[in-house]
Structure formats: structure tokens, C-alpha cells
Structure 1
């Protein structure tokens, strides 16, 4: 099985996802989009079993500054059309939404730090991923998105209604960062500290970095459940 991920900035990587992938026996490859000036040169879609689209500090709307966004979104559309299993995180979720025609725009407030998300029920007959009724998770974002066509909302937060969505059984977009580890949180603070402007849903660096396993462990457990859910889709399509 091949897991391929799109990395948009050098300081945001797979985090807690990587050891899970290796335990499951996935081979891991990546496209470092921050190293690209023009065409990214994506791998053949047929070689990918699981596509992971990570976060980043740019906007999906920054196509002039980052022209590779156009090709990335086209690739994501092709992957969805081909029935590939896809996980988008933060910018990655916004890219999925935008690739399918949904708008991405500034959220009413920035959401940075540890805040709870709540699960959202759906009337669909699909076997959607189920979040716990409420769980505290890590956030770092200033934009949000409209739900793309065919998407079901599966989680929300007080600051941002569209926290997680699902399309069919194989595509999940997360605005929050379930993959965050203490090292990853430190990297975000080190590289994006200018975003820590006091606000109702912005914690300071000290609060973010003093988080211990009582915060990371429950979030990590939900991440594993979500990855197992997606892994089942990969296996069923093999």
C-alpha cells in the first residue's frame, strides 16, 4: 500500500500519522510543494492508495504567488473522481473544498490553540466517521470554507462551524489538526508566532506549549480511529 502526502511548508509534516502508517505497512512518499516554482510533477494517480493533503500557511486563493496550487487542486479533483481515499488537514481540507468549487475565505475569528469540537449528525444512510460528542483538539487557522457539493458536515466548533466534512466513504477534510504532536506544536509556534494576536479563540504560546498527554492522548486516539476508518476504505478498494 502506498501513502502519498502533499507538504506545503517544511515545518508541517505528517506528525502522529507517520508512525501509524508505518505500523500498517504503508510505503510513504511525498510531494514537497514548497520546493516547486512551476509544475510539481505529481506521481501517477494509479500508484496512490491513500492521499494525505497537509496544512500550510498560504491560502488556497494564492494562485498567483503559488501557481502550483492550480495543478494541486486539479490533481485532487482527479483523485476524488477516481475514488481514491483522501484525508485533507486544515489547508488540505480547504483545498479539497475549493477543488470541488466551494469558496474559501477568512473566518470570523482566528482559531489557534486547544478548543473542543462537537460531532454533527447526518440523515444520510452512509456509514460516516463518528467523532466523540465533544473532544478538545488542536487548531491553527484563520480561514474557513463552504461545504463542497455532496459533503456531509461531521464536526463543528464554537469558532468555526465547518470543522470536518466527509464526501462518500473515502474523503474526509479536517479543519483542525488531529495529527499534532508536541514537536509539531513547537514548530508552528516557532514559525507562525506572528499569528498569536490575542482574541477570543487564540491562546498564547505558553498555553499551547504546556499541553501534556492529557490533551494529546485523547486527540491521538481519535486520529487513530479516523485513520483506521480510512484504512478500511483502502483495503476494500484493493
Structure 2
């Protein structure tokens, strides 16, 4: 059973890493947009003239590792649910809560170091001080746990209603965009805290953004994050369907 869990986790991890490599420039644009507040056109033209296309991939390695660990967490958490909690829990809202909490926590623990490294790489010269993982843990944990509701809901609906692959992908993308908007403030705060001149906590940074910028600043980078989330959700749904087929869980 443990070997099966690790195999499933590695499978999800490989899929997540491939997606991360493809989407690495999108992640760079999102990070710089959240940090600078400049338009995507300005960011692209500025950094193309500064370092060429390569600069858009400077965070690729830690980003791929982060997504490998995140996807590994998905495989492990799904294993825990199916073989430990599924027979004990029948209430759907409680199922969503348990799966999202377990998944979000495991993902954060496994991937936070790589994520901090990735943000630092992409921010580059904008980093002022060494980042503190302990300060960034809470916003990243909240973002991951809330966003897990998107994936869990997609998987549940696909399982219950036996949706086709294309319908599952469409549903995953739709819910992914909705939850990308809901969780975006936590993502923005995590980006802003990383390498900032002082290690403000979640609440302090939230107040700072509202005071110095505006509430709209908390939703900066929505379109890039929507592209990422939609693609990752689609990859996740595809992975779940393949795992179910391989291991005949249903």
C-alpha cells in the first residue's frame, strides 16, 4: 500500500513538473506583476531588453521542484483519503474540508522551501533581505488549503456524475479560475513578503497593501494565475483519471 502511494505521488509529481517547466514564464510574469504593479507589456519589454528570453526562465528549476512536491502531496493526500478516511466520512462538505485540509498542509510542508527559492529567483535584484519561511508559511498554507477545494470539488463531481474527460477538464478550469480569484490575496501577500525589507506577518502585510496601495492590489496577477491554475487543474484531472484507470479504484 505504501509503495502504491509513493508510486501515485511520483506520477503526479512528474506531471506537475512538466507543467511547471512549460508555465515557468507565466510564473515569472505573475511574480513581477505582483511585485512591481507594472503592466505585462512593460514587464516583458523591460526584461527582454535586460536579459533576453532566458530571464523568464530563471526560476524554472525551483518552480519545477515546487510543483513536483505539490503534486507529490496531492498523490499522498489522495492515498490517505481513499485508504483511511473514505470509509469513515460520508458527508460531502466534511469530505471537502478533510481532503482540502490534509492536502493543503502536506503540500505546504513539502513545497514551501522550493516555493520561497522560486520567488527569490524570479524577483532577482528586487530581493532586499533573506526570506523567512516561518513568516511565509501561513499565507501559503491558507492559499493552498482554500485552493484545494477547487481540485477536490472537481474530482468529487467527476466521480459522482461520471463526467467525460472533456467535461472534467472544463469543470476543473472553471472552478480553478473561481478559486484562483478567491485565493489570490494570499498569493500576493506571499510574493510581497518574500525578500521584503522587513519580515511582516500576514496581517501586517495585508494592512500595508491596503494603506499604501489599494484593495485591487491584492488581486494583482489574476490572469496569469488563472492560466496557471486552469492548466494545473486540467493536468490534475487527467492524472486522477489515469490513476483510476491504472489502479482500477472504481
TM-score, normalising length: structure 2? 0.28
Higher strand share: 1
TM-score, normalising length: structure 1? 0.29
Q: Higher relative contact order at CA 8 Å, sep ≥6: structure 1 or structure 2?
A: 2
